[in-house]
């Protein structure tokens, strides 16, 4: 699959118009690689959307764990489940929610929409919830979507990448409250030891334009250009079930959350698989607004330490 040539960098006013033009024809929606072709009467789902949840009672209301409602792209006041229903074909998609012992209205909201839900009696962690959701389906393609991410476009642009068996994963564009791409988060390179040290010490926060951070967060990439990348965000990530099985799934030692998606993408790279950032698939991402800065920093730093410890021979070698 050839990458299109890099075009001009879009300014802030261009992003919304680019997103409106992002829809592609439904041709090759699900590739022959899986031998499934178009859906037939009685055929199983061709793609499963897996939502790991924890205190996401507003999953259907456009807010999640205290996040504000953003009226971007005409999807105001609609939660991620409603956005999925609006942007996908129900005959092709299986939606699976795996809940990590929420004590709010999450289960009731999911049940009200007739969505399959596996309710855990305790917080099994993000990685374990992802694996649990994938085991609950036989769909050949998996879309991992955070409950605070709302589809703005369809997902055909992502599925088209899997015509090539050398593709391990593809992630889409994530936009924030202002409609601008979440550059630095939605696509990154795998962290080097120096990048991890800069993160833990807060250097990347104090001096975001430093060359280590610039490389790590792909800050030189054009957000409206298709790219080969090393680590798209796990908040909006598609991959084949067969690839998930081949590399051993998500590592459940990352608990409760943080860096399990980085580790997964590192194993895709080690397996010689291509990973893409696809800007024509777009989701609005409200981010971890409910997680305090201190809790986020501590959890993220712990995830980095676990990642470095598990992969020190690879990273330091």
- Give the residue carrying structure tokens 């079930």: 241
Enter the DSSP assignment of 208: T
Q: What was the pLDDT predicted at 308? A: 65
Per the structure, how many domains does the chain have? Answer: 1
Query: Which H helix or E strand runs over 306?
Result: helix 293-310
Q: Is residue 212 part of a domain?
A: no
Contact by Cβ (8 Å): 278, 225: no
46, 140, 48: which is closest to 97 by C-alpha? 48
Q: Kindly state the tokens that stand for 185.
A: 């988060």
Q: Are 261 and 125 in contact (CB under 8 A)?
A: no
pLDDT (0 to 100) of residue 141: 96
Kindly state whether residue 63 falls inside one of the protein's structural domains.
yes
Q: Which domain holds residue 166?
A: 16-189+223-290
**In 3D, which of 140, 187, 194 has the Cα closest to residue 165?**
140
pTM of the model: 0.77
> Is 262 part of any domain?
yes
Residue 41 lies in a domain: yes
In this structure, is residue 40 part of a structural domain?
yes
From first to last of its 317 residues, the chain has per-residue pLDDT tens of: 444 333 334 444 455 555 455 544 433 344 444 444 443 334 568 888 886 766 555 455 544 443 333 233 223 224 777 778 778 877 788 888 888 877 776 777 777 777 778 888 888 888 999 999 999 999 999 999 888 888 999 999 999 999 999 999 999 999 998 899 999 999 999 998 899 889 888 899 899 999 999 999 999 999 999 999 999 999 999 999 999 999 999 998 887 667 899 999 999 999 999 999 999 999 999 864 334 343 444 445 566 666 666 666 565 55
Check residue 200 and give its pLDDT.
82
Residue 256 domain flag = yes
65 within a domain of the structure (yes/no) = yes
Interatomic CA distance for residues 305 and 143, integer angstroms: 27
Q: Please give the Cα distance from 20 to 152 (Å, whole number).
A: 9
**pLDDT at residue number 44:** 67
Sign of CA dihedral 92, 22, 84, 74: negative
Q: How far apart are the C-alpha atoms of 95 and 143, rounded to whole Å?
A: 9
Cis ω for the linkage preceding 256 (within 30 of 0): yes
Instruction: Find the CATH number of the domain harbouring 115.
Output: 3.90.550.10
Residue 118 in any domain: the answer is yes
């Amino acid at each position: 699959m050839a990458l299109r040539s890099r075009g001009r960098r879009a300014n802030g006013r261009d992003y919304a118009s680019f997103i409106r033009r992002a829809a592609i024809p439904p041709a090759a929606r699900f590739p022959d690689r899986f031998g499934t072709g178009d859906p037939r009467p009685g055929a199983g789902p061709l793609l499963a959307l897996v939502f790991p949840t924890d205190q996401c009672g507003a999953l259907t209301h456009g807010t999640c764990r205290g996040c504000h409602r953003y009226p971007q792209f005409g999807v105001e006041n609609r939660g991620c489940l409603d956005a999925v229903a609006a942007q996908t074909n129900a005959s092709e998609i299986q939606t699976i929610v795996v809940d990590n012992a929420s004590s709010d209205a999450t289960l009731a909201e999911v049940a009200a929409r007739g969505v399959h839900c596996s309710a855990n009696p305790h917080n099994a962690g993000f990685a374990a919830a992802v694996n649990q959701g994938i085991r609950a389906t036989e769909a050949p393609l998996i879309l991992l979507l955070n409950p605070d991410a709302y589809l703005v476009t369809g997902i055909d642009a992502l599925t088209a990448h899997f015509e090539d068996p050398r593709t391990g994963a593809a992630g889409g564009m994530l936009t924030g409250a202002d409609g601008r791409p979440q550059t630095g988060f939605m696509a990154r390179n795998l962290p080097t030891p120096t990048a991890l040290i800069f993160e833990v010490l807060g250097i990347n926060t104090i001096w975001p334009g430093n060359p280590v951070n610039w490389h790590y967060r792909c800050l030189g990439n054009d957000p409206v250009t298709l790219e080969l990348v090393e680590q798209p965000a796990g908040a909006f990530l598609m991959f084949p079930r067969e690839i998930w099985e081949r590399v051993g799934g998500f590592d459940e030692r990352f608990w409760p959350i943080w860096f399990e998606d980085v580790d997964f993408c590192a194993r895709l790279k080690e397996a010689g698989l291509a990973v893409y950032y696809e800007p024509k698939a777009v989701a609005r991402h409200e981010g971890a607004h409910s997680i305090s800065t201190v809790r986020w920093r501590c959890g993220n730093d712990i995830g980095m330490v676990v990642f470095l410890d598990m992969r020190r021979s690879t990273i330091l070698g």
